[in-house]
Chains A and B, each alone.
Chain A
Amino acid sequence: MKRLVFLLLVVFIYSCNKDKEKSLQLNENESVEVYNFKQLEPLLHADDNAIHVVNFWATWCAPCIKELPYFQELHDTYDKNNLKVILVSLDFTDKFESQLIPFIKKTTLTPQVILLDDPDENNWIPKVDKSWSGALPATLIYTKNKRAFYEQFFTKESLFKEIEKFKKI
């Protein structure tokens, strides 16, 4: 039995490593990870005490670019143990190098940026939230006890106000 568990663990770790091979180099020390939905999904269901803010955006989405600084500000305002911001880019896969990477470098975004490279959209969009049509921008905010999805543009005020609702729980 112990052997079996060990074997499964090895296989699991191996498959995890294999999945995470893909990444894009930002500079010498930094890179942006490229995930498929299976790899992203655990980050939409973290079981810790933090408030998780997952923003779906793209460099081609004008309202997304407008609200990005508010998510950066959230990230800067809160202690990382209390609030985590993840920026999930839905940029065109053939534009990662020419559009997304230069954008991230230029804006010096510090929250974690993940490139979601999973073409089968209708399969994973409802797994993010069943109310989501797929339009950008969109944001998921959740804690262990509360979960809400916003297919909308946030102002700075409306974003911070929404976070307050999660702090009380």
Chain B
Amino acid sequence: MKYLKIIPLVLVIGLISAFSYINMPTSDGYKVGDIATDFSLKNVDDTMISLADYLEAKGFILIFTCNTCPVSVRNEDRILALDKKYKPLGFPVIAINPNNPDVQPGDSFKLMKVRAKEKDFTFPYLFDEGQKIFPQYGASATPHAFILQKEKKDLIVKYIGGIDNSSRNPETVTIKYVENAVDALLDGKPIEVTFTRAIGCSIKI
């Protein structure tokens, strides 16, 4: 009879572990077509930035990136070029540092300011303080790009993935995924490749 009392407990534990197992491999976050959340994050100029502030924008090239990841560093010039080309066309770059500076001290807000100044970032470089935004988007690496387009009042995720097909070496790039996607949006055409993967650094949590 004693065992009978244990059965519900075992069942509950079993259920909990079964669900946690199921949840583990499927990474949460957005898929192409989802509605993206807005946020209010601190920029390197000490102002708070929200996507809603950009009344004229047609959309955004949101890039999770950081100071310390060497792949991110190798993409800084590419990110600057994207902002230069697409900000005037209505798709500005918004960069977000998702890393926890307690784990990766080189990614502190103070050092973000230093890096932004050194490289003359023309785009906001936001600090995901408390790491609340990157998990909602499902960013899993730096750099990791999300293209959003305004549709009525919503921001719709149109592309998730790498900036191009050679994150580690700009000289061997043959396909520029982000450029192709934004060009398609600007032309009102369907995006050919909406999801890609690229080598990057894990996000430090």
Contact = CB atoms under 8 A, between A and B. Distances in A.
The answer to whether A and B come from one shared complex is: yes
Interface of B: 25, 27, 70-71, 74, 140-141, 144, 161-162, 165-169, 172-175, 177, 193, 196-203
Contacts of A133: 27, 140-141, 144, 197, 200
Given A61-B201, A122-B198, A126-B197, A134 B169 contact: no
A151 interface: yes
B165 A136 contact: no
Contacts of B161: 122
A135 B70 CA distance: 12
Interface in A97-137: 119-123, 125-126, 131-137
Contacts of A90: 168, 199
A60 B197 CA distance: 19
B99 to A, nearest CB: 12
Contact of B199 (A63, A94, A121, A152): A121
Residue in A93, A120, A121 whose Cβ sees the most chain B Cβ within 10 Å? A121
Interface of A: 60-61, 63, 90, 92-94, 119-123, 125-126, 131-137, 151-153
9 contacts: A92-B168, A93-B172, A121-B165, A121-B168, A121-B197, A133-B140, A134-B167, A134-B200, A136-B200
A125 B144 CA distance: 15
Interface of B is mostly: loop
Q: Which 10 A-B pairs have the closest CB atoms?
A: A119-B172, A135-B141, A60-B70, A119-B166, A133-B140, A125-B197, A122-B196, A134-B197, A135-B202, A134-B199
B197 A136 contact: no
Contacts of A61: 201-202
B39 to A, nearest CB: 21
Contacts of A92: 70, 74, 168-169
A165 to B, nearest CB: 13
B141 A123 contact: no
